[in-house]
Chains A and B, each alone.
Chain A
């Protein structure tokens, strides 16, 4: 919305006013606007306004080769890019009937869980910052950086890795990598009690987060809430366990739930998932030396690769919820259609608009961050 195009949507009576939050504001990890109508401090109506990060990726992907699109996919969600690459690769592999080697699957799980750790630390800190506590934010970003260092060592990229290709992964781990990941995990685990002291035992956070932005389980199901936000309402559903992909069916982990459904419960679910991800990566690290073999299967010449005609729907559990790709091929060297269903498309629009009604203005940013919405995923 450019200033010259602004029109007050209706002439408000004297006790009501409109407030535009955004596109730059502390409530979300990107550019996203939220237009509020307020009565005093109380929100009467909220309207989400997206499009600031629209880059037309779905259209771009129709004009590029299957292999070229790998460079586009991680950019769809900046804080948690790995599930995007993996799920696109899974879709292409499904269409081509490629058999991915075992080692590549375990490497992908490791990468996905490291990315989940990084994304949760990011959100965790951001959520604290919306309640005025900046220490967890600095700590979260600093600890996330250690994971980015690992990614840099693994594939050269810190944020966008493009480590996966259809059929496997690009290269194996460098020597000594398992030990360094293990050390980082030990460090992160030793930090978890500090995070608990800093956030969940902090009166400020307890008072601010409890009972804010409550979603009941029924509403969560009606509004297609997924991921940690759904588990915070007490429903133990996780795509990794209930619709398994890669090798998650061979891994032991708990699906964390909380019952309250408020901002507090959502933060707590993420905090507990940090530990579960550490558990998963430890199992992967223990397993990897036993699995020899190639890290990718042979694929045709990627610059002249006609993927067989067909369509597929691939789902994954990203750090924000259910991520899905609908990919259609007409037998050509480019995708005929790719549609990405990001979890934030639900959380940042319909759910947020409903939750904001009736809350106070100082809680809006917190509700937004506790839903862990990712604007680039909404805009694509």
Chain B
């Protein structure tokens, strides 16, 4: 694309309208943008409305437990400029409330619902925050880093006592199971 450079400088100009923005170009088609949480909707509005980034590819959530923050990453793609902008923002882990971008990008509804279910982040203004995948789950949001799957299983389920007749015969002959599942540790934590 011959006008690629012009377009890029124009995009930089649009982006610098946002205060406190940090732009990093990772490659010719990948741009990383770090922005404060209150400026993100304005940024997306600019990207969609004035810079042709009409395709919301995904919203990813990362739980930074040590920092006490959730990182939300909005990946938007422009069919015309053929580049992808990843907009990173951070929100405090408690109370974990953020604003929906459903009015800017329709597909956000699915991702926000998914993040709400898996991380417990509530998106104000999202059309549907009801359960989707974990319909019968009443525990804490499972994708959070402080959710320990193994501890949850040990607290809520019993190990099955597996002792069929054929196994008893083998044990009588001196054989048997080398490691019982209830003696086995699956993680390397301890």
Contacts and interface: CB of A to CB of B under 8 A. Distances in A.
A56 B62 contact: no
A5 B135 CA distance: 10
Main secondary structure of the interface of B (DSSP, over half): mixed
A313 B110 contact: no
B86 A313 contact: yes
B133 interface: yes
Contact of B106 (A51, A56, A63, A222): A222
A96 B58 CA distance: 23
Interface residues of B, number: 34
Interface in B17-73: 29-30, 54-58, 60-63, 73
Interface stretch (A124-132, A176-184, A288-296, A333-341): A333-341
Interface residues of A, number: 37
B16 interface: no
A1 B130 CA distance: 14
A235 B62 CA distance: 33
A5 B131 CA distance: 14
Interface in B119-158: 132-136, 142-143, 149
B101 interface: no
Contacts of A315: 57, 84
Contacts of A336: 62
A364 interface: no
Contacts of B75: 313, 324, 326, 341
Nearest to A56: B142
Contacts of A141: none
Given A63-B149, A237-B79, A350-B106, A313 B84 contact: yes
B79 A328 contact: no
B29 A243 contact: yes
A311 B75 CA distance: 13
A207 interface: no
Nearest to A242: B82
B29, B60, B118, B149 — which one has the most chain A CB atoms within 10 A of its CB?
A: B60
Given A50-B133, A341-B58, A346-B107, 12 more contacts: A51-B134, A59-B142, A221-B54, A221-B55, A311-B62, A313-B75, A324-B57, A326-B58, A326-B73, A328-B62, A336-B62, A346-B110
Interface of B: 29-30, 54-58, 60-63, 73, 75, 77, 79, 82, 84, 86, 105-107, 109-110, 114, 118, 132-136, 142-143, 149, 187
12 contacts: A50-B132, A56-B149, A59-B142, A222-B54, A243-B29, A315-B84, A322-B57, A326-B58, A328-B62, A341-B75, A346-B107, A378-B133
Q: Which 5 pairs between the two chains have the least Cβ-Cβ distance?
A: A341-B58, A224-B107, A51-B133, A326-B60, A339-B60
Interface of A: 1-2, 5, 49-51, 54, 56, 58-59, 63, 221-224, 226, 235, 237, 242-243, 311, 313, 315, 322, 324, 326, 328, 336-337, 339, 341, 345-346, 349-350, 378-379
